[in-house]
Structures are given as C-alpha cells and as structure tokens.
Amino acid sequence: MKLIIKTIIYFLFFFYSSELFSLEIKNVRFGSNADAKRIVFDISNDVTFKYKVLEKKIEIKFDKKLILEKPFKTNEDLKEINFDKTNNLIILTFKRNIHSPNIYFLKKKNNKYARVVIDYKNKQKKRKIVVVDPGHGGRDSGAVGITKQLEKNITLKVALLLKKEFRKYDEFHVILTREKDVYLKLRERTKIAKNSNADIFISLHADFNKNRRTRGISLYTLSEKASDREAEDLARRENRSDFLGNVDLTSESSEVTNILIDLTKRETLNQSSHLVNFLIKDIKSEMNLLKRAHRFAGFTVLKSLDIPSVLIEMGYLSNKEDSKLLVSNSYQKKITSNIVKAVKNYFDWIENNN
C-alpha cells in the first residue's frame, strides 16, 4: 500500500513539476509602419522553434511544452490564431495572402519576456517586368542546325516555356517580343522592352560555329569592343538583319547630360554583369558552359541604356550533341528552370543590397 501511495505521489509531482517548468505564451501584440506589419508573441523564457509559411497561413512549432495564459486576440489581417497544445503549435490564419514574411526570435536577456516576431506585408511588391526576346523569326531563320533545325523555332519554343515557368511566381510579369513566327527588326525588340518599362531583357539564341566540336552555353553582355574575334563575328552576324547603326552618344549637346547618360549606361552594364553571374552560378551545376561563359559583344538587342540585358546562346546547332539537346523537351525545361531561378536570385540580391 505504501508503495502504491509513493508511486502516485511521484507521478503527481512529476506531472505538476513539468507544468511548473512549462513555458507560457504571455501575450500577442501587433504593430505596423508604412511598409510592413508586425506580430509579436511574448514568451516567458527562451525557446527554439521551427516554422512553415503558406500563402495564407503561418505555423510555428516549439520544441518545449507551452501553456497559453489567455486567449489570443487578432488584428484586421488575421482570420484567427489557434494554439494546438498537444503539438505545441501556433497556427496563424490570414484573411488574404501575405508577402515577404520574416520570422525571428529575440532572447529574453534583460527584457521581461522572450519574443517571437513575425514581420510581413499584405500588399504584394511591384511585379518585376521581364522581357524575353526569342531571337530571329519570320524570314530570318537564324542558324540552321546540322539536322536542319531552325534557330528561330528553338528560341520561340524556349521563350514560351520560359514565360510559363515565370508564371509560377506572382512577382514577375513576362512579355515576349514575339509569340509566333514573325520577323522583327532588332530595334523593335529593344523598343518593346523600353515601352514596357522592363526591369531586365533576356534574348535567346542558338549559336553556330565552323568548329563542330565547340559546344556549351555562353552568355553575352554589351561591350563596344567584343571580348574576342568569335564574339565580334557573332555580333556582326546577328546585327546584319537590322539596318540601324549603333547609338551615337557623342551627339548629345549638353555635357551634363552626356555624363548622366554615361553613368546610367555604366550602371546598366554592371547590373547586366551581375545578372550573368547569377545565371552562370545556377546553370553550371546542371548544364554545360563554355570555358569563358561570360562574353562581350556589340549586339544591338543589348544596347538599351537603362535596362540590364543579357543574350543567352543556349548551345551550338553546329555540334551534334548540342543540336540534339536544343530540341529536347527535357533540356529546354532545364534551361528555363535555371534561368528563372537565377533571375529570382538576382532580384533578391538587389532587394537585400539596396
């Protein structure tokens, strides 16, 4: 009998002591400024947690037992806040999609409580406008592959896939310079980007080389002087279908205007190079790049003064292996997926460094 009583006392002590040492959710507070909203949970002591973010929901799972001191209140953005005591889980359900959530922990230290902080926006950021240019088209077939594949058809198919891939993300609005087999002058392509207030311009091509062993992806940004003879010849070949010459910046009458234009152009070239660096980083892990993947040439389609622009040569139609890949669905899907990933990373980098 004494043993039974001792056992009961032990379990009662264990139960109440575990309750005693449980953490308490003391309060939930709300705040906001012009750009973001904030939700703060006051916790009696330091704790670790994991979280999951969905379109209209945030789940925070704690590693220790928690007790809710009083029912949660909500703000105008929240449908409800629930506490799952069994799983130590706080579930926030919002009335509409939330954007740019940032969830972090502030230790107790000298404060009265430790804090779990959720910052978010309930207005979507301005969508980035991406203009995708399928090279060639109409009477301009571009390069002809060793098995008679036409560059204009490959670039259009990849551009349409790229637009579809970008549509998975609300943050992008994609415009194609052409969506069917039509001829466009090179300056018409850059004019579409300019009139659309494009944030970036991506031109898609498939290269041709006399050396049939040459293969791989290369990426070009603007240079008044090409990085090598091959790039120079390629630029001359691509620009031949357009009768307009280069933009002559020296005709500007105002010295100040010239300086500003030059600075704008320099910054655009820098941003174009940053974009290429992100593309190379995301492409090289899965796909074949030329040894010097980033090249420079005077392509007309890259000459927008204030729009970061890149021309992607997706492979060589003159090479047996590349020509097979360029018409392959899996290759086309892989390159579009990598381009979208790189563009996302590029814009994230800009946002974090502004």
Strands laid side by side in the 200-207 sheet: 172-176, 128-134, 200-207, 309-316, 217-222, 289-297
Amino acid at position 16, single letter: Y
**Residue 29 pLDDT:** 93
**Residue 239 pLDDT:** 56
CB 271 within 8 A of CB 222: no
pLDDT tens, position by position, 105-160: 999 988 889 999 999 987 767 889 999 999 999 999 999 988 899 999 999 999 99
Residue 222: strand, helix, or coil: strand
Query: Considering the domain 22-121, what is its CATH architecture?
Result: Sandwich (2.60)
- Does the reported pTM lie above 0.85? no
**Residue 236 pLDDT:** 61
**Residue 12 pLDDT:** 45
The two three-digit tokens of residue 76, written as one number:
């105008």
CB 300 within 8 A of CB 242: yes
Q: How far apart are the first and last CA of the chain?
A: 73
Residues of the chain with pLDDT under 50: 8-20, 240-254, 256-257, 260
**Residue 4 pLDDT:** 53
Query: Considering the domain 128-239+255-353, what is its CATH architecture?
Result: 3-Layer(aba) Sandwich (3.40)
**Residue 249 pLDDT:** 38
Spatial separation of the C-alpha atoms in residues 214 and 235, rounded to whole Å:
18
CB-based burial of residue 326 (10 Å sphere; 0-12 exposed, 13-18 middle, 19+ buried)? Answer: buried
**Residue 175 pLDDT:** 97
CB 219 within 8 A of CB 315: no
Measured in whole angstroms, the distance separating CA 241 from the mean position of its chain's CA atoms is: 33
CB 330 within 8 A of CB 158: no
Spatial separation of the C-alpha atoms in residues 112 and 325, rounded to whole Å:
62
**Residue 227 pLDDT:** 56
CB neighbours of residue 206 within 10 Å: 28
Angle of helix 255-284 versus helix 329-353 axis, rounded to 10? 130
C-alpha distances out from residue 6 to 13, 14, 15, 17, Å: 10, 12, 14, 16
The two three-digit tokens of residue 51, written as one number:
């979280």
Name, in order, each residue with C-beta under 8 angstroms of 221's C-beta and a sequence gap of 6 or more. Answer: 269, 272, 273, 276, 294, 296, 302, 309, 310, 311
**Residue 19 pLDDT:** 41
Residue 174: strand, helix, or coil: strand
Residue span(s) of the chain under CATH 3.40.630.40 come to: 128-239+255-353
C-alpha distances out from residue 118 to 43, 108, 113, 143, 170, Å: 14, 17, 16, 53, 22
**Residue 11 pLDDT:** 47
3-state secondary structure 126-170: CCEEEEEEECCECCECCCECCCCCEHHHHHHHHHHHHHHHHCCCC
CB 111 within 8 A of CB 26: no
Residue span(s) of the chain under CATH 2.60.40.3500 come to: 22-121
Spatial separation of the C-alpha atoms in residues 292 and 72, rounded to whole Å:
58
**Residue 109 pLDDT:** 87
**Residue 64 pLDDT:** 87
Residue ranges with strand state E in the chain? 23-32, 37-43, 49-53, 57-62, 66-68, 78-84, 89-94, 99-106, 114-121, 128-134, 172-176, 200-207, 217-222, 289-297, 309-316
**Residue 231 pLDDT:** 56
